[in-house]
Each structure stands twice: as structure tokens, then as C-alpha cells.
Amino acid sequence: MSGAKDYGRVAVLMGGWSAEREISLLSGRAVLAALQAEGVNARGIDLGRDACQVLATGGFDRVFIALHGRRGEDGCIQGMLEILDLPYTGSGVTGSAVCMNKVTTKRIWDGTGLPTPAFAELGADTEPQFLVQRVGFPLIVKPSLEGSSLGMRKVDHPNQLKAAHAEAAGFRCPVVAEAWVMGSEYTVAILDGEALPVIRLETPREFYDYEAKYRANDTRYVIPCGLDSERESEVQQLALTAFRVTGATGWGRVDLLIDGRGDPWLIEVNTVPGMTDHSLVPMAARARGIDFDELVWRILETSLDHS
């Protein structure tokens, strides 16, 4: 497509009712402003339970998905848009569903020989000895269907498991225990088959949690990331492979750790990452010479894959 009018009327979906609603609203508003600045006929929609009716009767030609979390990033909305025959941005139904589920993602990586920390599903009655043998301590406990580090807690001793499980299970989804990796945190943004510059994340907190992501003023985002060019290229290729084998397409972000020996460990894929001026994908894009408005335009182009 050559111009804004060629995209027709674009719905920017944001908000919704997941635990990441407020972050989604920030992303959606930023995306909407960027599209309108580029001359796109875009309208923001705070997703409600009447989403199907609103989209079916709104005269839209395509959809920019700026939803985070369940019912927006997990294949549900994508499936509805497929039924409505509305092209949309980002991953399809399968890639979205797989990447939203941390256990499923890790099983795929494990099965394809990609490096990811040891893990096990965690129930209220899981024996600590099982986790000692399968995962080891320390470990990190996570809700398997949440993003933004919600409900995550580091566990150093078996007597902390019960509280950690209760917190994660409060999000009403399966819980996963994952081996704790001592090392540096990195993230790789993916845009239409290209890995953007790697970002190293630094926080004085135990890990890059919700506070570090959205509230703290002492989180550092290091670009260039400090890896030499050959090593950075290897990490980018690993991220592209990790993204592809999950069925993810279009754009997204792969998070990983590199331990003290220099070995990488894949953590998760985000198929609809944050899209404010302070989010990680826009940071990586700027380092690549792509400003925010151009980034949003290029993400909108991924809707052509679903046309």
C-alpha cells in the first residue's frame, strides 16, 4: 500500500478487561495518535463485551491490536477477527495462543532444542522434592497466562512456595515454576522478520518486575547492549528462531537471560508488546533509525498478512 487512505478505516483495539488493561490503554492511545498523525482514518475502541457487534457494524477495513494479556493477546480476538474477515496486525490465532501460554512456549522450545530454563507446572500440592529434582532452587514462580511480570515471585526456599503459588494462582490460570538464572536480562524486538538492536535491562530489583517496568525511575535500558557485534547477531538469530517456532508472525518481542558463562536462556515471547514512547520495542526501533510513527505504520503493514 502506498498511502494512508489505502488502509481504509482502522480500528485500534485497546483496554479490554485483562490485568494489563491500563498499560493497553496507554499503548492504544499512543498508536492511535501516531496513525492519525500519518493521515490514517483510525478510531480507538476500548474493547468491551460487545466487541463483535462494534467491529461487525463499524465499517472498519482492518484492525490494529494494542491489547495486552488475556482475551486480546491470546488468540481470542484474533479468532473473532478471522470470523469477521477483518485483517489485523501481528500474530495469528495459533501464534498468539501459544506465546501467551508460558508452559506451551517452553515445551515447544524444549522440544526443538532451544535453550530455556528448566520448568515444571506447579500446583498447591506439588512436593518440594519434585521441584528440587526437576527445577532446583532458587526458582521463579509465574502465572502461565499473564504478562508484565504480574504475579511473579522469586523463591529461594521450599517454605516460600505456598505463598508464591497462592499469589500466582490468584490470576486464575496454571502456574509454572522456572529455574532461576543468574545473569543479565535482554530483549529483542522483532519487526517483519528482522531482529532490531538488542537491549540490556538493568534494575536494582531482583528482576525486571512490574515495578521496574512501569513505575521505577532507576531502570536502565542499555543500547548498544554491550555484546560484541558477533555475539549480538547470534542472540538476534536465536530470538528470530524462537519467535518463528512458536508460530508468531509480524512483530513482537523475545525476552531472554544470558548467564555468567555467556549462555543464553529464552524466557518468553510477547506478541503485542507495549507501544508507548517509553516501551522497549519503540526504543529498539529508534536505535535502528525508525521513529515511533514509522514503527506504527510498519506494524499496521503486518495486517496485510491477514488480508
User: 243 is written with which cell numbers?
Assistant: 519467535
* Residue 111 CB partners (closer than 8 Å, separation 6+): none
| Active site amino acids | 20, 148, 214, 253, 255, 268, 270, 274
Please give the backbone phi and psi of residue 153, each rounded to the nearest 5 degrees, phi first.
-150, 135
Vertex 266 angle, CA 220 and 207, to 5°:
35
Nearest to 195 by CA among 252, 229, 240, 231: 240
Could you give the CA distance from residue 83 to residue 224 in angstroms, rounded to a whole number? 43
Could you give the CA distance from residue 20 to residue 273 in angstroms, rounded to a whole number? 11
The upper half-sphere exposure of residue 300, i.e. CA atoms within 13 Å in the direction of its Cβ, equals 33
- What is the bridge-based pairing of β-strands 62-65 and 9-14? parallel
